[in-house]
Amino acid sequence: MGETSLRELLGVKPGPVDLRTIDTRATPGDPGGKEKATAAREQTGRALADLQEQMFAMAAVEDSPKRLLLVLQGMDASGKDGAIKRGLGGMNPKWMHVKGFEAPTEEEARHHFLWRIRREVPAPGIVGVFDRSHYEDVLVVRVYSLVPEDVWQPRFEEINAFERELADDGVAIVKVFLHISRDYQLERQIRRLERVDKRWKFNEADIDDREHWDEFRTAYEEVFERCNTPWAPWYIVPADRKWYRMWAVSQLVKETLEGMRLHSPERRELDIPRLLERLRDS
Ligand code: AMP
Ligand code: MG
What is the number of the ligand closest to the CA of 140?
Answer: 1
Q: Is 150 in the pocket of ligand 1 (CB under 6 A)?
A: no
Cα(122)–Cα(5) distance, integer angstroms: 26
Cα(100)–Cα(95) distance, integer angstroms: 17
pLDDT for 3 equals 66
What atom in ligand 1 is closest to the CA of residue 113?
Answer: 19
Q: Residue 242 burial (CB < 10 Å; 0-12/13-18/19+)?
A: middle
* DSSP secondary structure, 212-261, as one string: THHHHHHHHHHHHHHS-BTTB-EEEEE-SSHHHHHHHHHHHHHHHHHTT-
pLDDT for 228 equals 98
The 8-class DSSP code of residue 147 comes to: S
Q: Is 134 in the pocket of ligand 1 (CB under 6 A)?
A: no
* DSSP secondary structure, 1-60, as one string: --SS-HHHHHBPPSS---GGGS-TT--TT-SSSHHHHHHHHHHHHHHHHHHHHHHHHHHH
Alpha-carbon dihedral angle through residues 79, 83, 85, 88, given to the nearest 10 degrees: 180
What is the number of the ligand closest to the CA of 152?
Answer: 1
143-153 residue pLDDT tens:
999 999 999 99
The residue to mutate among 102, 151, 203, having the most atoms of ligand 1 within 8 angstroms of its beta carbon, is: 102
Q: Is 136 in the pocket of ligand 1 (CB under 6 A)?
A: yes
User: With contact defined as beta carbons under 8 Å apart, do 117 and 133 qualify?
Assistant: yes
pLDDT for 4 equals 87
Question: Does residue 1 surpass a pLDDT of 60?
Answer: no
What atom in ligand 1 is closest to the CA of residue 76?
Answer: 3
Mean pLDDT of 155-175: 98
Mean pLDDT of 251-276: 97
Q: How many angstroms is it from 101 CA to the middle of ligand 1?
A: 6
The 8-class DSSP code of residue 85 comes to: I
Mean pLDDT of 130-154: 98
Question: Does residue 268 surpass a pLDDT of 60?
Answer: yes
Q: Is 192 in the pocket of ligand 1 (CB under 6 A)?
A: no
Sign of CA dihedral 263, 264, 268, 272: negative
What is the number of the ligand closest to the CA of 131?
Answer: 1
Question: Does residue 176 surpass a pLDDT of 70?
Answer: yes
User: With contact defined as beta carbons under 8 Å apart, do 146 and 140 qualify?
Assistant: yes
Question: Does residue 188 surpass a pLDDT of 60?
Answer: yes
Q: How many angstroms is it from 56 CA to the middle of ligand 2?
A: 31
Question: Does residue 125 surpass a pLDDT of 80?
Answer: yes
Q: Round the average pLDDT of the chain to a whole number and report it.
A: 97
Cα(42)–Cα(14) distance, integer angstroms: 33
What is the number of the ligand closest to the CA of 80?
Answer: 1
The residue to mutate among 81, 108, 136, having the most atoms of ligand 1 within 8 angstroms of its beta carbon, is: 136
Q: How many angstroms is it from 228 CA to the middle of ligand 1?
A: 22
Question: Does residue 199 surpass a pLDDT of 60?
Answer: yes
What atom in ligand 1 is closest to the CA of residue 140?
Answer: 12
Whose CA is closest to atom 20 on ligand 1? Answer: 103
Mean pLDDT of 238-244: 98
pLDDT for 217 equals 98
The secondary element (H helix, E strand) that includes residue 166 is helix 155-168
Cα(260)–Cα(214) distance, integer angstroms: 37
Question: What is the length of the chain?
Answer: 282
33-91 residue pLDDT tens:
999 999 999 999 999 999 999 999 999 999 999 999 999 999 999 999 999 999 999 99
Q: How many angstroms is it from 79 CA to the middle of ligand 2?
A: 10
What share of the chain has pLDDT > 70, as a percent? 99
